[in-house]
């Protein structure tokens, strides 16, 4: 099973809030997730990024591949992506 760290959309219509999740790469964007490891809200000024750093590092250590957007979020939070 290939695990990806990616965003899944929650929130109401025209008010998106994104969760950072670990999920099977074959599942749908808002489909089944393995674990929720953070939250991202671009609607606030400045954008709100909340991550469980220990869980992010765990998933990266076991081989999870972050999406390009999640990779950018991790860099802004100072988490080094291999």
Whether 82 shows a pLDDT value over 80: the answer reads: no
Tokens of 4: 């990806």
Summarize pLDDT for 2-56 with one digit per residue, the tens. Answer: 999 999 999 999 999 999 999 998 988 888 999 999 999 999 999 999 999 999 9
Is 16 inside any structural domain? yes
Is 13 inside any structural domain? yes
Is 54 inside any structural domain? yes
Is 72 inside any structural domain? yes
What is the rounded average pLDDT of the residues 53-60?
Answer: 94
Distance CA 44, CA 27 (A): 29
Supply the pTM of this predicted model: 0.88
Q: Domain tally for the chain?
A: 1
- For residues 8 and 69, the answer to whether their CB atoms sit within 8 Å is no
Peptide bond into 46 cis (omega under 30): yes
Query: Domain span at residue 56?
Result: 3-76
Residue 28: predicted pLDDT = 87
Pairing of strands 48-51, 15-24: unpaired
């Amino acid at each position: 099973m290939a695990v990806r760290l990616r965003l899944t959309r929650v929130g109401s219509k025209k008010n998106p809030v994104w969760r950072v999740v670990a999920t099977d790469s074959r599942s749908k964007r808002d489909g089944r997730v393995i674990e929720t490891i953070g939250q991202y809200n671009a609607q606030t000024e400045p954008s709100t990024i909340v991550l469980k750093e220990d869980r992010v590092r765990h998933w990266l250590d076991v081989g999870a591949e972050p999406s390009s957007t999640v990779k950018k979020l991790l860099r802004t939070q100072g988490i080094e992506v291999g």
